[in-house]
Chain A
Amino acid sequence: EVQLVQSGAGVKKPGESLKISCKGSGYRFSDYWIGWVRQMPGKGLEWMGIIFPGDSDTRYSPSFEGQVTISVDKSINTAFLQWGSLKASDTAVYYCARRDSGWTIDYWGQGTLVTVSS
């Protein structure tokens, strides 16, 4: 069974750094792209970017380029999303999701709630 399990919720202050994780299991992790999606409170889904664990090839949505860093450690089947300096507007649920062999997102993590508040 394909599963993506994300790290737990976090509360941070503006200016702090944060790295959240997404661990894949039940499939060959290196062979499938992993993407990240933001959902701000009460809002819709936004595509942030994607990484290929096999070679760490990473692509960002223009809206998120320079705002976050996507990385991966294929030795532990885990992808990461990190911020160097959080803002209150980064408060959201962040989902990792697997891209199938085409361009469909077929499996999603359970989501990680990030709250940034002073």
Chain B
Amino acid sequence: QSALTQPASVSGSPGQSITISCTGTSSDVGGYYLVSWYQQHPGEAPKLMIYEDIRRPSGVSIRFSGSKSGNTASLTISGLQAEDEADYYCCSYAGDTTLLFGGGTKLTVL
């Protein structure tokens, strides 16, 4: 199985909104309601931001939202803040007890 496809980088100015896409196939992203998104700051462990495509864990800012259409999931961050600058990874269940990660997207806040 190949990694899910994410853009290598995205950028935005403070206060703007950005969207990161995550493209897979009908065997992973499109086949289950099980896409999650993780934020990773340098030298830190990943942090869960969105799960089951659209759900937000308690404690995560409402500025983070998830959506999905077909085989592509998306993470949108609204009202960009400096602390949002990080790497973001999507992850999908791919059947047979396997998880697939995306290649990661580096978000730069200009």
Contact = CB atoms under 8 A, between A and B. Distances in A.
Contact of B100 (A47, A102, A105, A106): A47
Interface stretch (A7-15, A67-75, A81-89, A107-115): A107-115
> Main SS of chain A's interface residues?
strand
Given A44-B89, A45-B89, A102 B101 contact: no
Contacts of A19: none
Contacts of B91: 45, 105
Interface stretch (B17-25, B43-51, B71-79): B43-51
Contacts, number: 55
Chain B interface extent, by class: 20 to 34
B103 to A, nearest CB: 5
Interface in A26-64: 35, 37, 44-47, 50, 59, 61-62
B3 interface: yes
Given A44-B89, A45-B46, A102 B52 contact: yes
Interface residues of A, number: 22
Given A95-B46, A111-B45, A105 B99 contact: yes
Nearest to A52: B97
B51 A104 contact: yes
A44 B103 contact: yes
Given A104-B34, A104-B52, A109-B45, A47 B103 contact: no
Contact of A106 (B1, B57, B93, B96): B57
Contacts of B69: none
A44 B99 contact: no
Interface of A: 35, 37, 44-47, 50, 59, 61-62, 95, 100, 102-111
7 contacts: A44-B3, A45-B91, A47-B101, A103-B34, A104-B48, A106-B48, A106-B57
